Amino acid sequence: MLQLAPESAPVAVHHVARRRLWVVSLVVGVTASVVSLIGSWIPSLWGDEAASVLSAQRPLGSLFMMLGHVDAVHGFYYVGLHFWVGIAGSSPFAVRLPSAIAVGVAAAAVSWLCGRLGSTRLAILAGAIAVVLPRLTYSGEEARAYAFDAGIAAVLCVIVAEVVLRRGRSIGLWVAYGAVLTLGIYSFVYVGLMALAAGVFVLVTPSARHHLRAWAIAAGAAVVASTPLLIFAFLERDQVSYLHHRVEVTPSSVLVQMWFGAVPFAIVAWVLIAVAIIVPVVKAVRARRARTAMVAQGHPSVVALAACWLSIPVGLLIVSSPLIAGYTARYGTFAAPAAAVLMACGIEAIGKRVWMRVAAVAVVVATALPIWVGQREAYAMNESDWNEIASTVHAKAQQGDGIVFDEAVRPSRRTRLAMDTDPAAFDAVKDVTLSSPYADNPTWHDDTYTVTQAAGLGRFSGIDRVWVVEYSTGGHTDTWGISSLEALGYHRTVAYTEHRSVIYLFTR
């Protein structure tokens, strides 16, 4: 019996450590979800979220018809949201809740990754940073798929870490990797680039190089399984052609907006990331073991994996952007958890004492807090003020009034989306220019008539009061349809100025 103690003790310690890591990851995940969820109902929905909500609200037949023309790359998310809306409704809180849960998954995976390749302390540090990282807290309150992309990418890295730790063939894990990678590609095509990050990490890890063949098979299988989506993505590529006419790759978009939200937080983050990468390299050079130091068990290994995750997929998008319209800052959301990992490793590298680590985390939280608060202000989502439009019309309109929306701006900015996303607030008014609703169209938005066309169809007969909602940028307010209304005998009587819109009442 005495001989068993030395052999069983390490096993017992291992199980205790695994249980502790499970608890840490669970607490981090729940905290991240709650932090993202708090105040998520405050900002108005905006154009991209309207595309999500209106697509999800369509009957499935109508949704699949639409995906054959536009937004096939978002189809997996739309279908999932369709069933969720059927259960929870389409309020801002309801449609943003799944994203908050997905951020919790990402943060929990970050903690697990750091605990397995590093220590419980590193798991807590990385988890705490993931909870407040601005890109994650933003994606956690947005009804888009980006939070899911971050969660899937984090899970992929956890699987890779488990493969490296086991060192055997790990066929089951590679099957899981291929399945999750396929899921990630269907969620967001660019998540497929995570396969390259994993491949480079396996390549530079001497103890894991025998997995290269299995990695290639798993990644190739995921690409093959994703072929239908990739074909649709190619056919519908013109949807993002507008990026060709914008300067998307700038120091601000890459170094600040992509993951960090504001300059003070970005400075802190990049200093910590630099320390996390430089310190192991310096130690490796001094020890003349540069090829193995970065992939040894412990913190250098997690640094190598996170560095591949952070730099390779997004780096390829940035480098290819002059040729392919494929980069904007929010597309890098799936790499945001890697930033949290590297920042935590940086704190570990410089924080030799407890008070130093606590102080560093306090600085991270202090610089993140103003960003988090700003994300939960009324106009945080692309300056959208649809809540105010709905509130004003609901309070001021009389039963039987007509309403006209500005159609001079691109679909994602049209003021009529305030009604499409909150129809109950507009029960009293008649949409006089509506031609066909979004559910009947091959696109996600309504088709409309001009005021003159609607008048020719008798849409204004018997209507003496018409509300006009124009898009406004502060320096300029549109006047779409106003001259046509005046030609019909209407004149302006009242104006309500909102944040990004002006609401007029015309009477005759």
Backbone angles phi, psi at 205, to 5 degrees: -105, 100
Question: CA nearest 158: which of 138, 181, 192, 135?
Answer: 181
- pLDDT of 390: 98
Q: Which residues contact 217 (CB under 8 A, 6 or more apart)?
A: 174, 178
CA distance 111 to 321: 32
CA distance 80 to 406: 31
Q: Residue 195 gets which letter from DSSP?
A: H
- 41 in Cβ contact with 96 (< 8 Å): yes
Backbone angles phi, psi at 505, to 5 degrees: -110, 120
- pLDDT of 475: 83
- pLDDT of 2: 35
- pLDDT of 58: 97
- CA 97-100-104 angle, 5° bins: 140
What is the residue type of 119?
S
Give Cα 210 distance to the centre of its chain: 34
Give 161-180 as a DSSP string: HHHHHH-S--HHHHHHHHHH
What is the residue type of 117?
L
Question: CA nearest 222: which of 155, 255, 177, 172?
Answer: 177
- pLDDT of 242: 61
CA distance 405 to 116: 55
- pLDDT of 293: 44
The SS3 assignment for 440 reads helix
CA distance 203 to 218: 15
- pLDDT of 166: 84
Q: Which residues contact 305 (CB under 8 A, 6 or more apart)?
A: 113, 117, 157, 160, 161, 201, 341
Structure-block tokens of residue 310: 């952070």
Please give the model's pTM, rounded to 2 decimal places: 0.94
- pLDDT of 179: 98
Question: CA nearest 128: which of 355, 301, 307, 357?
Answer: 357
CA distance 160 to 167: 11
What is the residue type of 238?
D
- 383 in Cβ contact with 473 (< 8 Å): no
Question: CA nearest 339: which of 41, 174, 133?
Answer: 133
Residue with tokens 């699987």: 159
CA distance 81 to 102: 13
State the CB neighbour count (10 A cutoff) for residue 59. Answer: 10
State the CB neighbour count (10 A cutoff) for residue 477. Answer: 16
Q: What are the C-alpha distances in Å from 464 to residues 195, 204, 221, 482?
A: 62, 74, 63, 15
CA distance 488 to 315: 56
Q: Assign 3-state DSSP to the chain and report helix, strand, coil percentages, each to 5.
A: 70, 5, 25
CA distance 193 to 203: 16
- pLDDT of 3: 40
- pLDDT of 15: 60
State the CB neighbour count (10 A cutoff) for residue 184. Answer: 27
Q: Block means of pLDDT (10 residues each) for the chain, length 508 residues?
A: 41 69 97 98 98 97 95 96 98 98 98 96 97 98 98 98 86 97 97 98 91 97 97 85 74 97 98 95 70 43 96 96 88 98 96 90 98 98 98 98 97 97 98 97 96 98 98 93 98 97 98
429-431: strand order across its sheet: 429-431, 401-405, 465-471, 501-507, 491-497
Q: 491-497 and 465-471: which strand pairing?
A: unpaired
Give 265-277 as a DSSP string: HHHHHHHHHHHHH
- pLDDT of 298: 36
